[in-house]
Amino acid sequence: MSPTAAHASLLAAGAVPHFPPAVRSDAAAGALAADLARTDAAAEARAAVPPLAAAAITVRYGRRTAVDAVSLALSEGTVYALLGRNGAGKSSLVRCLLGQQRPAAGRALLFGRDAWRHRASLMAQVGVVPEQPDAPPGATARRLARFCRPLYPHWDDAAFEGRLRRFGVPTDLPFGRLSRGQQGHVALALALAARPRLLILDDPTLGLDAVARRAFFEELIDELADRGTTVLIATHDLAAIERIADRAGILAGGRLVLDEDLEGLKQRCRRIWLADAAAAPATALDGFAPLARVTGDWGVETIVAAYDEERFRAFQDSAAGAGARVGSLDLEEIFIALTGAGADPLESAGAGGPR
């Protein structure tokens, strides 16, 4: 990348103040060198600032707390899956992160700046796919692109048209006459055409059929391959996102009950079968932090949150007659174990209710 190009990209990112190129021509070589040294420092400083962070965000609706002191931070290039049951607070949190809603307490920070106070300037660097793609029903995809273009400094028309072609969405049909899947594809194409540094997707595949969903994730994967964009995706599509996300957060009853790399999560969350549970003490698996237990004819299966191979082998040696075996869980099983009826703070909050 030429110094000028490097400067231009930093400029666009808001890292250095803008001044006309003429000032930097030959006579100002010394000034340019000084400027580049400064942009290097700015680039380093920028790398350390998370593209997205929540600092103890709380959202209340009347007396109900929808989001309860949620803190998280995404490092550059992370794909973060925000999971939670309906009503867990995902959409409220996402609205705060987009600067659309002011938290009752705490702050949403995009590139280190307050999302609520700097929404207008920050949104030029953020691609958004809302839960319900919303556009004037009479506008064609091409007209929507024309409308968005002047708002984004890096707008890429060719990429927009290319994506719609791959999705098979007609550019000359009014938005209101497109299918739900096509509307979702238009929303993603608009979000990516802005060449954003950060992509925020709120349940983007809701209501999409399997083919449309697959196409959606393929475009997202291409975007990651080409640009390494940082992504926050709120989703219920656990099977798809567990192959793509680096890290997951689970909201339950407004609280972030989990915020962890998927690799580690899958190492520690496991199922342990005991062919003959009677041969082991009832508390034998307590050290593995059991979450749920199912008893069947074939024995007892326990979902544990703190599996450890060495400890498990010691347990096998000590209770050889129990016939203990270990298996793995997919993200959906982990999610259910962590947020299912027994684990849901919303439901257990009804004091005295049957558990």
Partner 1 sequence: MKAAFPIDPSDPRPIWRQIEENVRHLVASGALRPSTSLPSVRELARGLAVNPATVAKAYQRLTEAGVLAVRRGDGTYVASAPPALSAAQLHERLHAEALRYASLAATLGATVQQATAALESAWRAFDADRGAAAKTAVPPGDPA
Q: Which residues bind partner 1 (CB under 8 A)?
A: 77, 79, 214, 217-218, 221-222, 224-226, 228, 239-240, 242-246, 263, 266-267, 270, 309, 312-313, 316, 323-326, 328-331, 333
DSSP state of 244: T
Based on CB atoms, which residue is closest to partner 1, 178 or 285? 285
For the CB of residue 273, give the shortest distance to partner 1 in the complex, in Å: 9
For the CB of residue 337, give the shortest distance to partner 1 in the complex, in Å: 13
Q: Using CA atoms, how far apart are residues 8 and 21, in angstroms rounded to an integer?
A: 10
For the CB of residue 245, give the shortest distance to partner 1 in the complex, in Å: 7
Based on CB atoms, which residue is closest to partner 1, 117 or 311? 311
Based on CB atoms, which residue is closest to partner 1, 157 or 309? 309
Output phi, psi for 200, to 5 deg. -120, 115
Compute how many other C-beta atoms are within 10 angstroms of the C-beta atom of residue 56.
Answer: 12
For the CB of residue 161, give the shortest distance to partner 1 in the complex, in Å: 20
Token pair of 235 as six digits: 């989703």
For the CB of residue 29, give the shortest distance to partner 1 in the complex, in Å: 33
Q: Using CA atoms, how far apart are residues 280 and 342, in angstroms rounded to an integer?
A: 25
Q: Using CA atoms, how far apart are residues 292 and 20, in angstroms rounded to an integer?
A: 64
Based on CB atoms, which residue is closest to partner 1, 202 or 242? 242
Q: Do the beta carbons of residue 256 and residue 250 sit within 8 Å?
A: yes
Based on CB atoms, which residue is closest to partner 1, 138 or 264? 264
Q: What is the largest CA-CA distance in the chain?
A: 86
Q: Do the beta carbons of residue 7 and residue 16 sit within 8 Å?
A: yes
For the CB of residue 191, give the shortest distance to partner 1 in the complex, in Å: 18
Cα distances from 9 to residues 3, 16, 40, 110, 195, in angstroms, run 10, 10, 12, 18, 12
Short-list 67, 50, 49, 51, CA closest to 59 = 67
Q: Do the beta carbons of residue 304 and residue 291 sit within 8 Å?
A: yes
Based on CB atoms, which residue is closest to partner 1, 58 or 75? 75
Q: Do the beta carbons of residue 152 and residue 144 sit within 8 Å?
A: no
For the CB of residue 252, give the shortest distance to partner 1 in the complex, in Å: 22
